[in-house]
Amino acid sequence: MTTATIPNMKNTLKSAVKPVSYYMTRPYRLFHEYDRANFRPDFMAGLTVAVILLPQAIAFAIIAELPPAMGLYAAIVAGIVGALWGSSNEMHNGPTNAISLLILSTLSIIAIPGSPEYIIAAGMLAVMVGVFQLIMGLGRLGVLVNFVSHSVIVGFATGAGVLIFIKQIKPLLGLNYEADNILQTITGAVVYAPDTNIPTTAIGIGTIILIVVLGRINPKLPSALISMILSAGVVFLFSLNNAGVSVIGELPSGLPPLADLPLTDFALIRELVIGTIAVGAIGLVNNVAIARSLSAQTKQRLDNNQEFVGQGMANLFSGLFSGFAVAGSFSRTAVNFRAGAKTPISAILSSLFLLVSLFFLGPFARYLPRSALAGVLIVTAVRMIDVPEIKRILRGAPGDAAIMVVTFFGTLFLNLETAVLLGITLSFALYVMRTSTPKVHAVLPDESFRHFYHQPDRDSCPQVAIIEILGGLYFGAVSHIEEFINDYTQNHPEHRFLLLRMHNVNHCDFSGIHMLENIVQGYRARGGDVFLVRVNPRVRHLMQTTEFENYLGSANLQNEDGVISNLFNHYLDPAICIYECPYRVFKECQNLPKRTDLIGISMPQTDETIPIKTIKPQELWDQLHLSANTEMPIVVDVREPREFRQGHIVEAHSRPLSRLLRERSGIDRQSKLIFVCRSGRRSRRTAQIALTRGYENVAILDGGMLAWQAAGLLTAVSLYEKDNTDNKPPSQYQTDPLNEESVL
């Protein structure tokens, strides 16, 4: 190792450690930057959330078939820790219905629900989920959640809502039977319906009705808490706990205890790996979705990686302190936001309020009926099913709809972690399919000539193809893009030039560069060229480092403004525009003379390999005016009459290319002929025709009339308005050497 590498290693280590220290010191920044003016709104928001946090923490623990105390511990610890290390000002972490259902699905195949082994496994799962999420955050892998389709969340939430609804039928009716899946649960409810406990059912249904009615009277009322308190009061007054009504039992009234977890039990760890990934992934995607939906209203700038760290720390500490896996809650976060929360301190306060309430309300939980909690969960389950969002996805892209449907049915009939991973896998597969087959289509300008759109019903320019690429030029997509361009080229063999619109190409790798080289090579082999417009700076940097820009030529990399004008004036053949193309595709075409009467007449192609003599504008001027001993050349302007009238060389004779194509000349083949057009391309074509007809002393004006005018040389303007379909010259030239019977 050389001494020069030591500073580089130090810099690399420093750059790796800096993000870790930044993310982990979030609590310091939170309190150091806290504005005391925010304490009052944070206090009121925290108190409001605590009112709904208590019943939810108990209910969601029951979904996971864990002791209610674990739900309360998870709510307290995760609420505080998640707020300290998270990034969102309004996010509220703790037990959620979907995560609780995932926990049950993951752990029920490892241990019997409710057993000590089951409770220990729940704590271990939370710790593993926390480590997984923490690694994702510290590794700055927050971008990965962008590849999980929103349809996975909708499908899973819908399936989870249906499952929760069905699973709460037993406690709602006070039934007791074994059921391992959704079908057995439904069948058992029908078979054992005669054994329904009437008081239990009445309390459950009454709770549902009360929640719905209170919600319609005033949505801000803590309807779930009110319903649970009233139901507990009914049980207490009528001693229904002695009449077969199942109750929760007394809750603990103390700080969350440190759990005794087997952190080195690798056999248990292996069994929990799949569930860890499923719970961790769903939790992260759910949190980012919630945070983004709120940031759109608050304009807060979010950090996905910091949010991952916050979730990881919340799960890690929840597991260590007798809780279970948690995530952000949309309902509590929304209440927190509507209650006026300004900072994460509001979430910390809500958890502290819950902790204080345990010291006073814990003993009264012995009268809280399970059927009331079942009623709360049934209402929650129904609200999880977002019917308008489901309809939108079904009406949208087929791929998203398929992911949602597969995840939904997988949630109902497979292990939940399998269903989640299946949905995530399908999301990645859909992403790969979409990015590897980006949209590529030919475009044309609109009526204002300002924007380009795909217009398959319009006729295109016969000389240049304009193709837009809507995706990355990476190894997975280049085959699809190249295939489209090659097929388009084969279907339009008349196109000699290609303009690629690249403003939607944000990524390119060497495979993309190699594909572009093949396309350029193909067009140049047919005598044309390729031009790129609006290339992304990062993509252009790659073109420079791989020397593709040198191969293409910097002149072929252009901006949007003026690209068509540049092609029109310097590359496209105006003879084709005038004599072969009846369309006016571009703005530059609008003033061109169109000889539609010649459409269909064979027009020989320009052959750049045939040497044609050229003459400079000043040299031609000297020959016409200063060289008395030199044979006077005959200047033939091959443009259309309208172009000729607008400005021409005084001594020139107007003989449009259209006329020269149809008629032959009796002129002396030894005459010195100089052909002139606008830029030199039509005159080159005319010179080639003259050479094939036996004329030997032929030249063209280099650069055409554009060069003549740029040199400041004299031009003449014709004012006659005679109809020129016969292409006759003005009267002052009717005695010239190229008379009516004397044309090429």
131 within 8 A of 304, measured Cβ to Cβ: no
CATH topology of domain 613-733: Oxidized Rhodanese; domain 1 (3.40.250)
Residue 610 has pLDDT above 80, yes or no: no
84 within 8 A of 26, measured Cβ to Cβ: yes
3-state DSSP assignment of residue 195 = helix
Residue type, 417: E
Model pLDDT for residues 462-473, shown as the tens digit of each residue:
888 999 999 889
3-state DSSP assignment of residue 312 = helix
307 within 8 A of 87, measured Cβ to Cβ: yes
Q: Which two tokens mark 303? A: 């950090």
Residue 116 pLDDT: 93
- Using alpha carbons, list the distances in angstroms from residue 483 to 63, 258, 480, 487: 53, 62, 5, 6
User: What is the mean pLDDT of the segment spanning 107-127?
Assistant: 93
Could you tell me which of 425, 426, 438, 521 has the C-alpha nearest to residue 474? 438
Residue 445 pLDDT: 85
Band (pLDDT 50/70/90 cuts) for residue 157 is confident
pTM listed for this prediction: 0.61
Q: Which residue has the tokens 């800096």?
A: 18
Alpha-carbon distance of 406 to 412, in angstroms, equals 10
Alpha-carbon distance of 424 to 433, in angstroms, equals 14
Could you tell me which of 278, 205, 202 has the C-alpha nearest to residue 240? 202
Phi, psi of 500 (to 5 degrees): -100, 120
Could you tell me which of 460, 684, 480 has the C-alpha nearest to residue 582? 460
Q: What is the mean pLDDT of the chain?
A: 83
Residue 665 pLDDT: 55
CATH topology of domain 439-572: Transcription Regulator spoIIAA (3.30.750)
Residue 374 pLDDT: 86
User: What is the mean pLDDT of the segment spanning 18-33?
Assistant: 86
**β 673-676/557-558 pair status:** unpaired
Residue 129 pLDDT: 96
Residue 552 pLDDT: 92
Residue type, 609: T
Band (pLDDT 50/70/90 cuts) for residue 322 is very high
Model pLDDT for residues 644-666, shown as the tens digit of each residue:
888 899 889 888 877 777 666 55
Identify the weakest region by mean pLDDT among 45-59, 108-122, 320-334: 45-59
Model pLDDT for residues 338-373, shown as the tens digit of each residue:
778 899 999 999 999 999 888 877 677 778 888 888
**CA 387, 389, 391: angle at the middle one, nearest 5?**
70
User: What is the mean pLDDT of the segment spanning 9-36?
Assistant: 75
Residue 629 has pLDDT above 80, yes or no: no
Model pLDDT for residues 704-739, shown as the tens digit of each residue:
888 898 888 888 876 544 444 444 444 333 344 554
Residue 605 pLDDT: 58
Which strand (E) or helix (H) includes residue 464? strand 464-470
Alpha-carbon distance of 145 to 288, in angstroms, equals 8
Is pLDDT larger for residue 687 or for residue 302? 687
Q: How long a stretch of residues is the chain?
A: 744
Model pLDDT for residues 511-527, shown as the tens digit of each residue:
999 999 999 999 988 77
Residue 154 has pLDDT above 70, yes or no: yes
Residue 23 CB-density burial (10 A; 0-12 exposed, 13-18 middle, 19+ buried): buried
Residue 39 has pLDDT above 80, yes or no: yes
CATH 3.30.750.24, the chain: domain bounds: 439-572
CATH 3.40.250.10, the chain: domain bounds: 613-733
Residue 733 pLDDT: 38
Helices (H) and strands (E) in the chain, counts: 30, 14
Residue 15 has pLDDT above 50, yes or no: no
User: What is the mean pLDDT of the segment spanning 558-579?
Assistant: 78
Q: Which residue has the tokens 């002393």?
A: 697
Residues in CB range of 469: below 8 A, 6 or more apart: 438, 440, 481, 500, 501, 502, 504, 505
Alpha-carbon distance of 531 to 328, in angstroms, equals 50
Residue 319 has pLDDT above 90, yes or no: yes
636 within 8 A of 653, measured Cβ to Cβ: yes
Determine what percent of the chain is predicted with pLDDT higher than 90. Answer: 27
Model pLDDT for residues 523-537, shown as the tens digit of each residue:
988 778 999 998 989
Model pLDDT for residues 403-424, shown as the tens digit of each residue:
889 888 888 887 777 777 788 7
Model pLDDT for residues 166-212, shown as the tens digit of each residue:
888 888 998 888 777 788 888 888 888 888 889 999 999 999 999 89
434 within 8 A of 553, measured Cβ to Cβ: no
Is pLDDT larger for residue 606 or for residue 701? 701
Could you tell me which of 101, 46, 49 has the C-alpha nearest to residue 380? 101
